[in-house]
Amino acid sequence: RFNSDRGCHYRWPEWIRICMDNNLTRSMSAKGCSPDNAAAEGFFGRLKQEFFHKRSFAGVSMDGFINMLNDYMVWYRDRRIKTEFGMSIMDRRRELGLVA
d(CA 44, CA 86): 22
Q: What is the mean pLDDT of residues 46-59?
A: 93
- Spatial distance between the Cα atoms of 48 and 66, rounded to a whole number of angstroms: 15
Give helix 38-47 / helix 62-78 axis angle, nearest 10°: 120
Residue 57 per-residue DSSP state:
-
pTM of the predicted protein model: 0.60
3-20 tens-digit pLDDT: 555 566 667 888 888 888
Domain extent listing, the chain = 2-36, 38-95
What is the pLDDT at residue 97?
93
Sheet strands (E) in the chain: 2-4, 26-28, 81-82, 87-88
